[in-house]
Chains A and B, each alone.
Chain A
Amino acid sequence: MRNWISRQALLADYTLSALARRRGRNLALFTVYAGIVFVLASTMLFTHALRREAHALLAHSPEVLVQNLKAGRHAYLTQGDLDRLGRLRGVSRIEGRRWGYFFDPVFGATYTLMAPASESPGRGDLHVGDGVARVRGLSTGDTLALRSAAGELHVFTVKKVFSSESSLVAADLVLMHPADWEAFFQLPGGVFTDAALSVVNPLEVRSVARKIGERLPETRVILREEILRTYEALFDWREGLLLALASLAVAAFAILAWNQASGLSADERREIGILKAIGWDTRDVLTMKLWEGGLISGAAFSLGTLGAFVHVFHFEAALIVPVLKGWSVLYPRFVLTPSVDAVSLLTLGLLTVFPFTLATLVPAWRAAITDPDEVMRGTT
């Protein structure tokens, strides 16, 4: 074993000096290779971080949401509907929620206007998210005038601007008093956009959903696990599609690597001929060639992944954000928590290092079986 290790160390040492002798060609290959790893790794790291954020956010959301439907369209729940839900075994809390969307034609942005049941602002006051404050140039104490659908102008005072740390959930949020909310949307008292139910035991969620369906057959029941599943599917699909497209680049790169490994220069042929003449066998030369590919792979993989980490977590993945994140006037600004998962790295290796190594194997073998006698005579 010790012999084997020292033999590999010597081969690696020799290969490094051989790589340095052809640094121009190897540097070009390395740059393209690292660039491809960078794009794939950025995609993987970014979607992994988004997935984590979605899980962290939804961990605190209610397990079950109930929306009323009339003729298949969304309708408001009434206090009577909530009373009909009554007490359900396993449900620790039922809360009617008042919220709606308001399109601001001046700035082309949509706000979420919400009236929380508890800790709501006072009459005529607002708490606004940092996205709304940014777009409208608001700070605490400013007034905000909003024209309702009926054409009436409602003037509010901003009492609080949510910090940018809450941007992911509150960028477009405007909190107001329930009476202001009803007046702004011209709704009667005691109506709710939906109802949020907290279920203590996750195994009982489906049973609770079934019971709600029996008591309020017209309603639509949305489970937190379904929202999570949709997010998972969406992120996986976007990531997979981007990777599938990028795999064309990997294929093109593999062909480039094959070509480059096939086109041995006269110097390289002479070098292999001399090595074989002094006693190296085919396996030694092949191992040396594989070391060459391995060193380039290792360096490109490390640098590409490191670059992707910096790109995603320090520069907010500026190059791939439009494809993976979506777009909106009030898009939240948020900092992703740096995290790397082993499966992503393993997958990245399978999609980059593996094809490169395969692509260079046959040319490396062709080089390794070169007959020293023919090379010395210059007949190949």
Chain B
Amino acid sequence: MIFQKSILALLFASGVGAVGALAAGPHALAVWRHWDLESGSARQLRLERRSTLVSTGMALLLTVQSVALLLFVFNADRMASQFVGAMCAVGTLRVDGFGFPALLAQVAAFFGSSVWLTMNAVDGRCRDRPLTRARSALLLALIPVLLLAFGLELAFFLGLDANVITSCCGSLFSIQAPGVGGDLAALPPGQAMTATFLLLGGTAAVAARTVHRGQGGLALGVAGILAFAVALAGIVAFVSLYVYEDPHHHCPFCLLKPEYGYRGYAFYVPLLAATSAALAAAALAPFASARERGPASAGRVRSATRALAGVALGGFVLVLLLMAWQVASSGLKLLAHG
């Protein structure tokens, strides 16, 4: 089934991203080991020249990699009609054993890429390039992730077989189902709602504080990761029930289907944007102090941290409001006062 336009495009984007990162590896390693902006040596000049190419190339590849995550999920949902037993993306991802690992690797690559892109953009604005070595280290760390994501994606698409009878989301996200999906579905909706709203609100407060002070990116990063996990759990535990108006349908992937107005994208896109902004703010945190960096660079990093915290604040608040609106406007009443 590999001869499908979306699969060809996804494999191309992922393959080029992985090969590009691998090709940039030796340069990233050299920068990590020898970068010294004070030096006027031939090696330093060579590194500086090559940095322009590697930065621009990787920015292009990783931007495409980030967009490919959405296409991957959309494609999995669209392909569900081609497998017996599949009702949504879950069915497609479970046709072989590589679907969900490929999705998780794609999400990891998305977060890594978005943090690298932010660091690259901020670094480009500072004269003394304070983030160059750190983003080279991040690029080195991203290489295995991108290779893994490509390998899993290739294995997943090669393993797709229309004759396989797959299982639908009901067997993964139901109270009786074993594993994480079943555990999340079994969470009491009232408590899950309280925990989700509190944590999203708390993270928004941390983001607001970071916007105000221009510091505290590390705390925002930790809170952002927690909020991301809890928001996903909340979507399974109660948001999905209110969207489908069915107390037993917990699937977080059916939200992406046209019959529910592609509502899942309204939740997931701001959630992914807010979380990656929070992570990027955390990555910038060590460079926001004027004592270690020049005041000009520290100022620019703080200003970037403020902007990122603003994105995180907007994203988490938007997700919170969307969830609350979904609960309030649904025909399903799960709670005594709801």
Contact = CB atoms under 8 A, between A and B. Distances in A.
Interface stretch (A67-75, A104-112, A115-123, A229-237): A229-237
B3 A350 contact: no
Nearest to B67: A346
Interface stretch (A29-37, A141-149, A304-312, A354-362): A354-362
Interface in B3-56: 3-9, 12-13, 16, 49, 52-53, 56
Nearest to B61: A358
B124 interface: yes
Contacts of A225: 81
B5 A344 contact: yes
Q: Specify the main secondary structure of chain A where it touches its partner.
A: helix
A282 B9 contact: no
Contacts of A346: 9, 67, 71
Contacts of B68: 350
A240 B53 contact: no
Interface residues of A, number: 33
Contacts of B61: 358
A286 B71 contact: no
A350 B68 CA distance: 9
Contact of A240 (B5, B64, B71): B5
A247 B7 CA distance: 13
Nearest to B83: A229
A239 B4 contact: yes
Contact of A241 (B3, B12, B75): B3
A290 interface: yes
Interface residues of B, number: 32
Interface of B: 1-9, 12-13, 16, 49, 52-53, 56-57, 60-61, 64, 67-68, 71, 74-75, 78, 81-84, 124, 162
A247 B11 CA distance: 13
A239 B5 contact: yes
Interface string A346-373: 1100110011011001100100110000
Contacts of A229: 81-84, 162
B5 A283 contact: no
A354 B13 contact: yes
A369 B49 contact: yes
Contacts of A357: 60
Contact of A44 (B2, B3, B5, B84): B5
18 contacts: A229-B162, A233-B82, A236-B4, A237-B3, A243-B3, A243-B8, A283-B52, A286-B53, A290-B56, A347-B9, A350-B64, A354-B12, A354-B60, A354-B64, A358-B60, A361-B53, A361-B56, A369-B52
